[in-house]
A = this chain, B = another copy of it.
């Protein structure tokens, strides 16, 4: 099992799919010659040539739209949106065109498109380059959405996304690109979309995490005075109700750990579903641990506070278990309100 960084795992996943299928192409700003601003397409131009690996002009609407058209006519484009915020200039092509083509062709046209985007805070990129923005994507029937939590899931989800016949968005927490771990490559490493993964086991709570917060939650669970199932959701649309429900049915407590602001965050969907369907099984109120409702601040210390840390996750869960009540978030304790 090779040990690799997450950006290497992504490059490897794309390369493996490109080897397997000549229809897979790669588009994006500086993905070819420069091998991607985050080196997530290393070696691709060299191996697959300029017909299949292309640097684009700065025009996300244009090249994402072209990718939709290419996908609808037989290719399997992998498009890089360098920072997820740039979807703000291109969302129409993803959500209103690509996601609806299959429906609007009566099933005659498929759009096997993969849209990769880097997300999240922690590297000092500032307010316009540090959000996670799952909410822009999640309420769109016709789209799938997966989020990598490290090299192995990045590899496995990327390959599944490229093989899928639907438009799939894969979000890559930017601050994990340099993280290393052993990665099962090849067919065995592929992770089915819609399937979650149990990252740790325990009895006191079910902690559902996504992307960058999987590590945070796992660390918190390892340190804790309590033990929990930590579930790496991996896919957000669709999400794995079976695994989450089975765990909550056992632990009786649900906690979500989210890097996004509270409002509109993905955890609300999970909490709402569990509260509806497992009402009788809950021993404590569901707890969402999130960032505050503020734009992502610059500054190392501020950014670190903005994102839930493992210590903070640990404290919040401890208090939930101790009191049976949802503890106030750190900013309320410090009397800060956005």
Contact = CB atoms under 8 A, between A and B. Distances in A.
Interface in A80-139: 85-89, 91-93, 95-96, 99-100, 103-104, 127-128, 133, 135-136, 138-139
Contact of A264 (B92, B127, B260, B269): B269
Contacts of A88: 91-93, 95-96
Given A100-B128, A100-B295, A268-B269, A276 B326 contact: yes
Contacts of A86: 92
A86 B96 CA distance: 9
A237 interface: yes
B138 A136 contact: no
Contacts of A87: 91
B91 A139 contact: no
A275 interface: yes
Interface in A264-308: 264-265, 267-269, 271-272, 275-277, 279-280, 282, 284-288, 293-295
A263 interface: yes
A127 B104 CA distance: 8
A192 interface: no
A15 to B, nearest CB: 32
Contacts of A282: 279
Copies of this protein in the assembly total 2
Task: Select the residue from A99, A100, A128, A139 with max chain B CB neighbours within 10 A.
Answer: A139
A140 B132 CA distance: 11
Given A135-B135, A139-B133, A286 B264 contact: no
Contact of A89 (B61, B135, B325): B61
Given A141-B261, A263-B139, A269-B268, A286 B276 contact: yes
A160 to B, nearest CB: 19
Contacts of A224: none
Contacts of A189: none
A261 B139 contact: yes
A233 to B, nearest CB: 13
B268 A279 contact: no
A338 interface: yes
Given A88-B91, A139-B264, A284 B295 contact: no
A136 to B, nearest CB: 6
Interface string A241-266: 00000000000000000001101110
Per CB-CB distance, the 6 closest pairs between chain A and chain B, nearest first, are A139-B264, A88-B92, A279-B285, A271-B272, A268-B268, A135-B139
Given A138-B264, A139-B261, A237-B263, 13 more contacts: A104-B295, A135-B138, A138-B263, A139-B264, A139-B265, A263-B269, A268-B269, A268-B271, A271-B275, A272-B275, A275-B275, A275-B285, A279-B286
